[in-house]
Chain A
Amino acid sequence: MIEQIYLETEIADHPDAKRLQKRFPKAAVIPCTRYSEVFNRHAQNFRLQKRKPALILARKHVNHVLPTPPGYGIGGQHNYYFSHMLNCLYDCRYCFLQGMFRSANYLLFLNFEDFMLSIEQTIHRHRNEEVYFFSGYDCDSLALEGLTHFAERFLPFFKQHPQAFLELRTKSVCTAPFMQLEPIANVVIAYSLSPAQVAIEQEHGAPPIAARLSAMKQLAKMGWKIGLRFDPIIYHAKFKDRYAELFRNVFDGLDHAAVHSVSFGPMRFPKPMHDSIVKLYPQEKLFAAPLQLKNGMVSYPSMIEAEMMRYCKQALQQYVTADCFWGCLPEDTLK
């Protein structure tokens, strides 16, 4: 339940700003000139804010669409990401957002039309070529669909642009926006999945794995393309057994033809993010794992990382061919 809404005065008359204020009639509406006054200020405590995030309604002025980091992709040459929202409903302990943003408040950009315009311009720049657009980098694409109507608006938009692929990355069990539509060939619904025990321990507030798998299989049956994202892979003494069990459960009853892509990668953080997160959760066992600093990234030691990657690749090849494995892992460990 949202109890505080920060509202940029510039966007106060936007229909979605009005809709959301109606949706939370008891919420205090607090005017601000720019979202950054609230979201980016110093001396915020992400951990405390995560207890009850406020909703910030804002306009995004620039950089609606950005190139993905090098090596990030699911088979396309041209990869971009866009974030209609910053921060997530869930509270996954390994999530880099908690080390990236000062605020845990949900920042929702209401000017979807500007995102769409930028996406169209990007598509035009790559005329006649496939272009991939990733959503869910700075938030869960679907977890707050009930508020944002993000998928509801962007699915018909991408249907009009068949050369542009949309990946919706999620841990949610939200299926409503897909149920009313015929499957769209250039949309991939990518589920972030972890072994049940890891999910219970580390993915606070996220739906149980069984519920995610059920939603995923339902959409796969309808003909929607599914992405499988085993990222991050969390190392622990029984990781082989637990990931083997997860893969069994994922592919049990899943039409393999529905699987568009599989990606997996070990837990890792840029050092400044790691340091911020450890400060927030100094007693967290996840960070007591044997982590090392390599090339500015904090990650498991190379031997452990390579072992995890080799094992997961081998285990996954029982179910899908290696040509649909992509990204999220150091190049040398894929081979």
Chain B
Amino acid sequence: MSVGKQVPEPALIFERSRPGRVGCNVPVADTPEVDLAIALGEVRDELHLPEIGELELLRHFTNLSHLNYGIETGFYPLGSCTMKYNPKINERTAALPGFAMLHPMQPESTLDGAFELLVRVQEILAELTGFSDVSLQPLAGAHGEMTCLMLVKAYHEARGEGAQRHTVLVPDSAHGTNPASAARCGYEVKSIPTDPHGNTDLAELAKALEGDAGRAVAVLMLTNPSTLGLFEPNIVRICEMLHAVGGQVFCDGANMNAMVGTTRPGDHGFDCMHLNLHKTFSTPHGGGGPGCGAIGLKPHLSPYQPSPVLLRNGEGKAMADHSRPQSIGRVSPFFGQFLMEVRAYTYLMAYGREKIADISRHSVLNANYVQERLRDVLPPAHDRPCMHECVLTAEKYKREHGIRALDISKRLMDYGFHPPTNYFPLIVPEAMMIEPTETETKETLDEFCDAMRSILREAVEQPDLLHNAPVSQVVGRLDETAAVKTLDVRWKPV
């Protein structure tokens, strides 16, 4: 018996397999037959892949897609993830054979249009962020963070301070990727607390920068606006404090959506930043990837950027520069997530200089509207205007009714919405982080807020509705502890 919706349990594709069936018109050879044992040596005999006809195959995956929720299914206010609409024209441009059918190792003289596009993306992103250089080689946001830390490391090494600067400062509100990327680059991580207003605690930061401790700091990784959805008003001062002790400042660009066309991290004093094109610039999340990272740099970090560097030569022609003696090397084998850059470029050109600021202005308007409409039932963690997302706390419901943020989220599914991000940032108890994005209408926001208000009434009057949620999905809550204990991560032939 399921606690979820009563629909048939979907079979695994392996269970649909019948000997001899095939799901496409398989390629046929017209070259002479060969003895595989002579050509290859030992040849395997067993290969347990499913054998399934084309129609059954399509039904299998179509039916599975119906068990999945995407932006095109409904409102997806997942904080920190910027689940905005991914325009369909982006898919059309990325599918053009002149882009999709390019080989990364074909002669560079045959890649004029691709290089032109990549350099234009770099130029537009540089203008939007206020950095002199942009590299598109990183493959995802965390990869971009890691690349920035590598550039910082190379910079300090070149100045003879590589061994001395072994610490990375990370606020306690930061995404987990920040400390993980720092550790991946061989750094020790030191946490900086947030003050009662939700800003970086300047007194604690000053302490961390004193004397020998300050001389050991390689970089501060700061998310602005912070993961509390708040703009850091002391940002210029913070960057000056780091620079005074020879440290660098990295901007985690996860929240760039709040700043596009309104303010530029390069102007704030940051030395480098990463962008998530899959958040801010609408490339589809694809169910958790491909991500698409880009990084922005100030001139002093430019010599170390990943090679090859795409740039314009003296005549203005886009080209790949492979002669970068101080480069950290490659962080990925080719030119980054090229077809995602095509999508991002299409998106940027649809906005252009006239409309680009609408992205930040409308996303901030939508977030403040949701914060205001829920304020009396679900108060903001900090009573300030939020940026592109608001962080609310359900602490009262936990204390008074035994209802956790997770229960509210699961109940939202029964109302047809994707839940917000829960329990992040870690410093807000029972956090619910809501990022509506600019592509939602007032009507959708009202429906969502009405649903939230209704659920919070249920929390008081009929709390079991929340404890037992969701009841509308194909499964109820799943046993994640059992998943770890009896690890089953693949189908095996019987």
Q: Do A and B bind each other?
A: no
Residues on A lying within 8 angstroms of B by beta carbon are none
Residues on B lying within 8 angstroms of A by beta carbon are none
